[in-house]
Structure 1
Amino acid sequence: MKFFFTIILCIFFSININANDSMILDDLTTPGITTQKQNWAFFTDGVMGGLSQGKAIISNLDGVDCYHMTGNVTTENNGGFIQIRSQLKPTISTKKYEGIYLKVFGNDEDYSIHLRTALTMAPWQYYKFSFKTNSEWNEIRAPFNEFKKSNAYQPSDLIGQKIKSIGLVAGFKDFTADICLSEIGFY
């Protein structure tokens, strides 16, 4: 009976530990560098001839350190995005977590998280989760099963893949982007 009780306790505690398993990718403890020691990079659709312009800086909004991405997004000349992106090394398995969380402050516009895996080889391939911001700090939860593929030439399901990069994207319509990111991670 003592052995049975010990097994039940071990199962109970292991379930609780795994259910609360999370990973902070970046909370600006070391601004500009993720917990995996990877840098964030800002770029625009200029890499493909687009005309969007912007910048990303490390800032402080209402006492909260954040990455502040601003710019004018235009779909002119086949463009339409600005983004900050970081590589994930080592890659992150979608089997280990349920999704991504991020803490953001914005300008009542829609933004998205883009994930790339080993199976998204072309620059226009990614998995996307869109969300709306407002002028308050909010935590967004993006479950992996709600990410949508960008085109027909990649697997429909993100689950089971290893994520190799993550990006915060403003794009695909003409608008003024203004978003702050204070924390991002996996839950």
Structure 2
Amino acid sequence: MQHELWPAEGQRRWRVITDTVMGGVSQGTVQLVEVEGRTAARMRGAVSTENNGGFIQIAMDLAPDGGAFDAGGFEGIAAELFGNDQAYGLHLRSTDLARPQQSYRQPFQATPRWQVFEFPFAALTRHRTDVPFAPRRLRRVGLVAIGREFDADLSVARLWLY
């Protein structure tokens, strides 16, 4: 069983969040473009570690009000991604997390060809929280370029629960 998260009808939209929210200087954009024959949301930018920064993210809230989205009947999230041979991260947030630096994470390497990645909920690593991940309280999905200086270029054509 699958449930399409993006592209989807309705309010779900990717938005860019960078370390400028905490004084960093990384710059990023997201655009809906064609990449190697696929319509995709493409995150591009320069990750900088200056001023204690170091990330660019595209994020999507799953419920229109920013509340919980029930993903309890699924094993994980899958994505069809195209990158530039760099390391990125899937970061999930639930309604259990109060601080912006908290998340549930899984790293991946995005190559310059379309690939399907599966991110099982059971494989997520807790970041700055002791609260176990609760799929029934999933709130936000983020694709993140983080932790080192590099040029980010990551595209997502599909995102779904499996």
TM-score, shorter chain, exceeding 0.5: yes
Moved more, 102-111 or 158-167: 158-167
Offset of residue 143 of structure 1: 0.2
Is residue 85 from structure 1 mapped to residue 91 from structure 2 by the alignment? no
**In structure 2, how many angstroms separate the alpha carbons of the residues matched to 1:103 and 1:180?**
8
Counterpart-to-counterpart distance in 2, 1:84 and 1:160: 20
Query: Which is helix-richer, 1 or 2?
Result: 1
Q: Relative CO higher for 1 or 2, CA cutoff 8 Å, sep ≥ 6?
A: 2
Offset at 1:160? 5.0
In the alignment, is residue 99 of structure 1 matched against residue 73 of structure 2? Answer: no
Equivalent in the alignment of 2:2: 22
For 2:30 and 2:136, locate their aligned partners in 1 and report how far apart those are by CA, in whole Å. 29
Query: How high is the sequence identity, in percent, across the aligned residues?
Result: 33
**Separation of aligned partners in 2, 1:36 and 1:106:** 27
Q: Count residues in correspondence.
A: 159
CA distance in 2, matches of 1:110, 1:35: 30
Segments of structure 1 that go 5 or more residues without pairing to the other structure are 1-20, 28-33
- How much is the aligned-residue C-alpha RMSD, in angstroms? 1.5
Q: Distance in 1 between matches of 2:117 and 2:144?
A: 14
Q: Residue in 2 aligned with 1:118?
A: 95
CA contact (8 A) 2:82 2:114 kept: yes
User: Could you tell me how far apart the structure 2 residues matched to 1:172 and 1:42 are?
Assistant: 17
Q: TM-score, normalised by structure 1?
A: 0.80
For structure 2, list consecutive stretches of 5 or more residues without a partner in the other structure. Answer: none
TM value normalised by structure 2: 0.92
Taking the aligned partners of 1:92 and 1:161, their CA distance within structure 2 comes to 6
- The letter of the residue matching 1:37 is Q
**Structure 1 residues 72, 159: CA separation in 2 closer, same or farther (over 3 Å shift)?**
same
Q: Which residues in structure 2 correspond to 1:31-180 (within 5 Å)?
A: 34-35=8-9, 37-89=11-63, 91-151=68-128, 153-155=129-131, 157-180=132-155
Superposed CA offset, 1:119-158 (max 9, x none): 111011111111101111000000001111111x431x31
State the SS of the aligned residue for 1:93.
coil
Provide the rounded CA distance (Å) in 1 between the counterparts of 2:12 and 2:134: 24
Change (3 A) 1:163 1:63: same
Provide Cα deviations, 1:137-187, integer angstroms capped at 9, x if missing partner. Answer: 000000001111111x431x3145410111111111111101111000100
Structure 1 160/56 Cα, relative in aligned 2: closer, same or farther at 3 Å?
Answer: closer
